[in-house]
Amino acid sequence: AQKVTQAQTEISVVEKEDVTLDCVYETRDTTYYLFWYKQPPSGELVFLIRRNSFDEQNEISGRYSWNFQKSTSSFNFTITASQVVDSAVYFCALSEETGGFKTIFGAGTRLFVKA
């Protein structure tokens, strides 16, 4: 069965610090997709990134970077030089072939960035 664990419930940093949000997943499938979503205080979930199981290349997009390691079943998200606007709840999610590709979310990590 698919499962996503985000062990960090809340993280608080000061602006300009780097922060890494951890995500560990469980799946027996060889074909699956991993996602990160952001939920700002306004409430609407916003897609950040999708990664398929056959592509372990790390990705960088501006201040955001993602580290996908199949050996440890992890898909961690790093924000470099954090800003107050990064304050939100971040969700890691998994979609697997056996599960019909329904997307399952972790419990989320609430990030507070203080000025």
Partner 1 sequence: GAGVSQTPSNKVTEKGKYVELRCDPISGHTALYWYRQSLGQGPEFLIYFQGTGAADDSGLPNDRFFAVRPEGSVSTLKIQRTERGDSAVYLCASSEATGGQTGELFFGEGSRLTVL
**Binding-site member from 51, 86, 108, 111 for partner 1 (CB under 8 A):** 108
- How far apart CA 37 and CA 30 sit, in angstroms, is 22
∠ CA 65-103-41, nearest 5°, is: 60
Residue 115: both structure tokens together: 């000025």
Per CB under 8 A, contacts with partner 1 among 9-38 are 33, 35, 37
x/- map, 62-101, partner 1, by CB under 8 A: -----------------------------x---x-x-xxx
Q: Does 50 bind partner 1 (CB under 8 A)?
A: yes
Cβ of residue 28: shortest distance to partner 1, in angstroms?
Answer: 17
- How far apart CA 51 and CA 16 sit, in angstroms, is 27
